[in-house]
Chain A
Amino acid sequence: MIDRASHEGGEHRAGHTSADPQVHLRRFLAALASRAVWLGSRDAESAVQETLKRSLQHPAARTAIEFYFSEDLPDEPTRPEWPLDQLFAWLHGVLYYVVRDENGRASRWREMPMGMLESDRLDGSRPIEPADPGPDPLEQILGREIKGIVAEAFPKLARDYRTVLTMRVNGMKYSEIAGRMGVSENTVATWVSRGIRELGQHIRRRTMRALPSRGSRK
């Protein structure tokens, strides 16, 4: 189980011994740290701690993290309300905004004379708006960026993928789509998932292009 006392205060530190009960949380944190670096964080550990803190404050996210990422489950674990994809999308949203927030602060610091507080700005202007999106980072990132990328990438999908996804969005069942397209339900199901995974790759590429100094990353 996750030690909430330490995490809710954001005071967790990597580097526990192998006997530490949080050893698999550490693996989770390491994975998040790798993502934070990929997203352009200069202080991945802090970004991860902040992401974890915000996630654990959300009951559904906390239950999901405990269920999917802790090493040992209790005998009767609480079944997570969220499916795994919801958790992955949520974590990306939180981490993305935490890293943006971090980069925004870094640029503000560069703009201000040493020792100057934001409230003391001589020109009376407002400090740069923090990137923190508020209570639902996933909704925010979907609305601000991901939907646009998907809309742009969608016409590039193979025709069959586009057709099944369009029908799916419109609430048609696999059996209905299969009947309409003259293929088996299994084929429809596979096209749905492959189409979504291909869109995921478009999102990845576009995110990578948008990141500062990420041009050489693959």
Chain B
Amino acid sequence: MTDPNQQDRAERLDRYVRGELTPAEARELAQESLEDPGLFEELTYSALANKAIAAGPAAGRIAKFPSRRTLIITGSIAAMVALASVYAIRYPGRRPGLHATLQASSGGKQPILLADYLSNAPAAQPDAFRGAETQSRPPRVSGTVVSIDNGAATIDLGSADGLSNGMALDVYDEGGAPSPEGSVVLAAVFRDRARGSIKGRVRLHDRVQIAPAIHLSARMEAVRALADGGNVGAARTAAEDAARWAVSVHLPPHVLAPAWNTLAALRILQGDRTEGEALLRQALSACSRTDPSYPGIVNNLGVLAELAGDERRAEEQYRNARQALAGQTGELQTQQKVVESNLARVAR
């Protein structure tokens, strides 16, 4: 159970950071901080982070998003490049023994694919625990409020459905009202349950709806679990189902790009390079250079070019991917290593 006081404080801190507190509320929080060094500290460092973020692009890797016009122009160019590439790449002279892999530990001998929802791990042994869990409970897109206590609601959805702390879920009247009457801001998330503070009108048995983008992400995490377990065929089927569903609910193309890239990688792993390339082109035209998926998509186009024997084109794509990843740290370092490894092989 979540402590309502903690929930209240977390909510007030969130509003403090966003500058939403009234002067009176801010004063109350300031007075509280005089008795609580931890709170005083959190208010201080959150404020510093806020100021640094507000200072904008000088903060280094916080990239500028291109304007809609730039996106359209970039998309058009990407589409033209895609058309030209279909004619340019004829897959001449496939090098024997070369095959796409996800294993970053392949010693640089094979072209390595990158996808948001596939792991670049050593050859995975089927993970019985994770695999069994994933298959026993597919992600759900809606659930219900199962209890209400002290201004907090518990719902029958959890991390298995893509939920994480901080998410706000729309809540609808159980009778099927078309617009939400309230929301639940999650403070504690378990595998099949989550609990959070109530905003607006929320009653027992009301329906809770997960945003389509979150549901897609959850389905793609299930794809990852299947692929990690060595079941590429099932992963591909699940990814196709997820992508079809996402299209059916009209998710914007840029939200779909990571799923298309993942599906493309699975297709390529199964030897279907034509369909893989079509999906990569689709993904590329849907996202911008600053999109986190962009380097992986470009890298995978490089893999396809390399498999087709076009090392010059492959080198160009790998260099593009490397450039897009330049200066990144954290989780993207793995991607950098993969791209460097791919580049080193064709640039020899």
Contacts and interface: CB of A to CB of B under 8 A. Distances in A.
A binds B: yes
A196 B50 contact: yes
Contacts of A24: 31, 34
A187 B18 CA distance: 13
B48 A67 contact: no
A183 to B, nearest CB: 4
Contact of A67 (B23, B34, B63, B255): B23
A28 B27 CA distance: 13
Which 6 A-B residue pairings sit nearest by Cβ, starting from the closest?
A: A151-B60, A186-B168, A182-B213, A200-B45, A199-B49, A85-B47
A16 interface: no
Interface residues of A, number: 69
Contact of A200 (B14, B48, B330): B48
Nearest to A32: B40
Contact of A69 (B31, B59, B212): B31
A58 to B, nearest CB: 16
B252 A147 contact: no
Interface of B: 13-19, 21, 23, 26-27, 29-31, 33-35, 37, 40-65, 165-170, 183, 185, 199, 211-214, 216, 251-252, 254-255, 290, 292, 328-332
A163 B37 contact: no
Interface string A17-31: 000000010011011
A57 interface: no
A85 B54 CA distance: 12
B30 A68 contact: yes
Interface of A: 24, 27-28, 30-31, 34-35, 38, 67-69, 73, 79-80, 83-89, 91-92, 138, 141-142, 146-152, 154-156, 159, 162-163, 165-170, 172, 179-184, 186-187, 189-194, 196-197, 199-204, 207
A169 to B, nearest CB: 5
B59 A83 contact: no
A215 B33 CA distance: 24
A88 B44 contact: yes
A190 B168 contact: yes
A84 B199 contact: no
Contacts of B213: 181-183
Nearest to B166: A190
B48 A35 contact: no
A187 to B, nearest CB: 5
A204 B46 CA distance: 9
A171 to B, nearest CB: 9
A140 to B, nearest CB: 12
B329 A155 contact: yes
Of the listed residues B48, B183, B252, the one surrounded by the most CB atoms of chain A closer than 10 A to its CB is B48
Contact of B18 (A30, A79, A179, A192): A192
Contact of A204 (B21, B45, B57): B45
- The residue among B23, B47, B60, B185 with the most chain A CB atoms within 10 A of its own CB is B47
A194 B14 contact: yes
B19 A83 contact: yes
Contact of B26 (A84, A156, A201): A84
Given A146-B51, A156-B329, A166-B63, A84 B168 contact: no
Contact of A148 (B17, B60, B167): B60
Given A35-B41, A190-B168, 9 more contacts: A83-B19, A84-B29, A146-B48, A155-B328, A155-B332, A183-B213, A191-B166, A193-B18, A196-B50
A182 B212 contact: yes
Given A193-B18, A201-B45, A169 B56 contact: yes
Contact of B183 (A38, A179, A184): A184
B166 A154 contact: no
B51 A89 contact: yes
Contact of A31 (B34, B48, B168, B255): B34
B48 A154 contact: no
A47 B103 CA distance: 56
Given A68-B27, A85-B43, A151-B61, A165 B52 contact: no
B9 to A, nearest CB: 12
Contacts of B50: 85, 89, 196, 200
Nearest to B57: A169
A154 B56 CA distance: 12
A162 B329 CA distance: 13
Contact of B60 (A73, A84, A85, A147): A147
B37 A34 contact: yes
B48 A193 contact: no
B199 to A, nearest CB: 7
B344 to A, nearest CB: 23
Contact of A150 (B13, B59, B216): B59
B158 to A, nearest CB: 16
